[in-house]
Chains A and B, each alone.
Chain A
Amino acid sequence: MRRLAPLLALLALAAPACADDLLGEAATVDREAEVRVHDLLARALAEDGPAFDAEIAALAALDDARREADLPRTGLLDDAHYLAAALAPSRDARRAALEAVLRAHPDPTVRRLAEHRLEDADDAAKADQLLADDRHNRRAELLNDAVRPLGVFSPTAFLAAINPLLLAGSAVDSIATTAVNLWNYNRLSTAEREALVRYRTELAREPDTADAPAIARAIRRLGEKRAKVFCTETVAAATQALDAGDLDRARFYVDSALATDHCTDAAATSQERLARLRNERAAREEAARWPVDEPPAPEPDETEDHYALVAAVALGDPAAMAEAGNRFLARHDDSALAPGVRYAVAVARDRGGPRELARDAVTALARDHRSDAGRHAAALAASPEWNRLGALADAESAHSRDVARYVLLGRQMDGRTALYSALQIGADSVRGAQSFGIFNVIGLATRAWSAWRKDPASNQAIIDRGEDFLAREPDSADAPAVHARLADAYERAGNFGRALMHCHATPAPDPKRVAKLEGKLAETLLAEADQRGGDPDLLRLVAHGFPETAAGKTALERIEKLPGAGEITITREILDAQPALAGPAGLDLPPALLDRRRANGEIADAGVTLANGALKLTLRDPAGGPDTTETRPLAPDAWARARAAAESALYGQALAKAKEDPEAGKYEKYIPIYVTGSIDESGGVYVYPGVKLRRYHSPDAPLYQ
């Protein structure tokens, strides 16, 4: 009876409002609604299961009664069922309750929350989904890569009817790609790594779930795969270090691999190679300490002059070294020790100057390949440290060669496997025989265009050599030219900040070049600001640092549109979607402003902004002119209420959009295939269908890579 009283009071609303005191009646109904919700929530918080179930039953009865009375339902039953699911005693019971909530067509917020609990917050369910998507993607990639070379809709496919060899090349390519993909089919993916972690977490969290045996099996399977990959990665790191000659690093990885379970056999080869290379290094270092077994000794008549030179070298005095060395050479030019003495003289000139003479002396000595000193001089002359400018020129030549190779031959094979490379070349040659050269020409032009747009080769070697030169010889006469060459290299590499810096360091920087670099730098920074969700600090940097550039002007416009600190903007779209927001418990706007009649005032698309204790309304001009703004100060209570309502509304929006994929179209999920086209580097036009991949976009992806 106690529960029936409020029910009857609420049902009274069904009758036409004929009471004298309508406001008083409305207040009674409000109180009854509060009591109903209060009892429901209090039972839940008190964890009083039977009483809570009774409250839900009463709420359902009230909904039924209201429906019979042609009244709208309370709309709280889905929320109550969602709350009930939270009180269920086990994971399985909670999942069943959530599925029941979803079957009852809840409102969007409850639906979103229930879906989140079922699909994202439940680690095992999320892991299942990750693995299902992963399986789908592996199959789809296999199929897509097999179909792509055939380009079934490409214009060349029609020519294949005339000449089947044209299709044969694509078939070979398709087979090669499929073979490579099959080879890599069982690789451990990022999604599998995440699934393994999620399964483990779920089992630790809910060991009594009915899914525990299946989860345990999945953990075992993925765990074994992960351990294998860990071993393989460790051995690969050891091999890489060995290839690079870094034996200390290699030793760490070999030891790590040996300490890993079931990895001893895999690490054996690296272990043996490491031991061999360490022995060789030890022998080499030992030999380096004693470069010759029997050093040449001076003849009796040379002893005095030689000793004077040795003493000067030991003292490190360039003048004494030069004098003693020249004296020795003047008296004993044909001595077996002469090359060594010439080297000592070169060193004296290098230290005491003039350095150009030292360079000449070393270059001359380097031609003597018979003596140790000559070979040492040759090695020195060839080293980048001795000839930094030459090293820079070499790096530039290598870069030019790389670019030319790209334009003429295309990007090199990625070297995934020898099989792929061999078959790819075979496929290309078959196709090339049929191309009449036209695709080659198109490909050449395409690659030249792309090389002009973006440097396909690395500039790092040029940058390293150039920076090294400037660090060691900043006052050299060649420094301005090196700055200019570095500016070019940095610009090609897309590092416009450094390019600009080196451009400014040249004696007379070209204003047009500076403006161009500033423009590119500003564009890069603007793009970075966009990537960081419109980072205001970066935007200000672009706007104030490069005001004359297009990007600077764009940044300034965006800054002007940025909300101030603590401001909240509610657009007209949100106001229309959530009418309660404009009510007395929210922004408390006059209804006339939202009735779509301009004559009595109307909120514009920009909506309402809450700032500094006031509402700033953007209103449409009744005469059709530009929108106007009107500021209405609010009392502290009204301000707090309006702000709280606005924050709730924005949270609701964020919740609704939390799972939306901004890159996915509205109906995309209903269409499992796509058709796309491309022009490859050799100018071939391909149009082919494919199975859509399910994108892996975990917010924690870096934790599984």
Chain B
Amino acid sequence: MQLRRLACGTALLVAGTLARPVRAGDATGAFAPYEDIVPVIADLTWHLKDDVYRFPPPQDPTGHDLYGLTLARLDAWEKRFPNRLRDVISFTRAETLERLGEYRRAADGYAKVAALPSPLAPRANDCRARAEAFAVAAALPETGSDIGERLTLVRRKLDAWDQLLTRYQATAFQPVVMVEIERLERIGATIVADHRDAIENGDATAERSLRFLIEKHADSKNLPSHILRLGDLYADLAREYVATHDRPLAFDPDEFTRRADRALDTYRKVATWDGAREKPEGQGHFAAFEAWKSITLARYR
């Protein structure tokens, strides 16, 4: 009998040890539908003030882009529970769209909330003005029929964003504006680099443009990418040197090495940059260009 009691006691002890902890969650009844939406909004709230210019976009535990995921989950929840929390869902969606660069849709979303009898209406009205200004700037054209027109349009659009930068300096939206400015300056530099043959003193201008991009956006998350583009320009210049000096007596190994090493140096910066998304690309570019350099020198030896 004592043995049986001991066995029961032990079993209870083991069961108590292995039992799952009591949970405070698991919403029930009328509250159950909201258990899906509160974490969605909470997750977005964590990242509303993120510096999207300096740091990569946030990810959820499954590795998805959090802003895109938030949008999808808001849509899914709204389909399941239409007409519930309309102002909250619309406002959250507009905030998400703004982070994703969809300023026009964000402005429309804020406007919808501003028109509702909601505690969020005043704030939505303020946000609408901002998103509207962003949408106007973003809608300015940036493609034209020739290089000159394209550069002019990009310049005009940059001016518009520069004005917004002044207005939203030192706010949570400064990084958003910086992202747009960086994008446009990159487009400008790419136009110059791609058409340097058509521009007077094109090689030097292209190099200056890319170097300007690197120096101005030294804090950007895209800095390794900008450096890679400069490496590409140097690599192109080295290839062009070989193309224009392909006859053995015209080829100067030292001049070629100087040009090629400039590209290799630049690629290597990215290839050895721990944590940079572009590191594998830099390693690939470096290895390929180094092999080409060796083969080219061997051909002329």
Contact = CB atoms under 8 A, between A and B. Distances in A.
Nearest to A111: B25
Chain A at the B interface: mostly helix, strand, loop or mixed?
helix
A43 B61 CA distance: 26
B79 interface: yes
Contact of B261 (A42, A83, A255): A255
A86 interface: yes
A29 B274 contact: no
Interface stretch (A329-337, A341-349, A653-661): A653-661
Contacts of A73: 24, 28
B291 to A, nearest CB: 10
Nearest to A200: B275
A249 to B, nearest CB: 6
A248 B297 contact: yes
A702 B279 contact: yes
Interface in A260-311: 285
Contact of B290 (A44, A112, A249): A249
Contacts of B72: 647
Contacts of A196: 274
B61 A45 contact: no
A29 B29 contact: yes
A41 B118 CA distance: 12
Contacts, number: 205
A44 B118 contact: no
Contacts of B85: 34, 37-38, 41
Contacts of A700: 275
A42 B118 contact: yes
B197 interface: no
Interface in A32-78: 32-34, 36-46, 72-78
B32 interface: yes
A367 B123 CA distance: 97
A78 B274 contact: no
Given A37-B38, A197-B274, A113 B61 contact: yes
A256 B268 contact: yes
Contacts of B277: 703
B26 A37 contact: no
A29 B61 CA distance: 34
B38 A76 contact: yes
B27 to A, nearest CB: 3
A699 B56 CA distance: 15
B80 A107 contact: no
A648 to B, nearest CB: 5
The range of chain B's interface size is 35 or more
Interface in B214-267: 257, 261, 264-265
A42 B87 CA distance: 8
A555 to B, nearest CB: 28
B294 A248 contact: yes
Contacts of B118: 42
A121 B34 CA distance: 25
A700 B56 CA distance: 13
Contacts of B95: 45
B59 to A, nearest CB: 8
B91 interface: yes
Interface string B59-95: 0111100000000110111011100110110011001
Contacts of A33: 29-31, 34
B272 interface: yes
A117 interface: yes
A644 interface: yes
B58 interface: yes
Contact of A80 (B38, B58, B80, B275): B38
B23 interface: yes
Nearest to A82: B42
B79 A46 contact: no
Contacts of A224: none
A674 interface: no
Interface in B155-171: none
B41 interface: yes
B39 A704 contact: no
Interface string B15-48: 0000001111111111111111111011101100
Given A83-B42, A256-B268, A76 B23 contact: no
B277 to A, nearest CB: 7
Nearest to B72: A647
Given A110-B25, A703-B280, A37 B80 contact: no
A243 to B, nearest CB: 15
A641 B80 contact: yes
Interface of A: 10, 13, 26, 29-30, 32-34, 36-46, 72-80, 82-83, 85-87, 104-110, 112-113, 116-117, 120-121, 193-194, 196-198, 201, 204-205, 226, 230, 246, 248-249, 251-252, 255-256, 285, 580, 585-586, 640-641, 643-645, 647-648, 651, 654-655, 658-659, 699-700, 702-704
What are the nearest 10 A-B pairs in CB distance?
Answer: A107-B25, A75-B27, A197-B275, A33-B30, A644-B76, A79-B38, A83-B42, A644-B79, A86-B45, A116-B61
Interface of B: 21-39, 41-43, 45-46, 51, 54-55, 58, 60-63, 72-73, 75-77, 79-81, 84-85, 87-88, 91-92, 95, 118-120, 123, 257, 261, 264-265, 268, 272, 274-277, 279-280, 290, 293-294, 297, 301
12 contacts: A42-B118, A79-B27, A79-B34, A85-B42, A116-B61, A201-B55, A249-B290, A644-B80, A647-B76, A648-B36, A648-B76, A703-B277
Given A10-B30, A201-B275, A248-B257, 16 more contacts: A36-B31, A37-B34, A42-B120, A45-B92, A46-B119, A104-B24, A106-B25, A112-B61, A113-B39, A193-B274, A205-B54, A248-B294, A585-B81, A645-B76, A648-B73, A703-B279
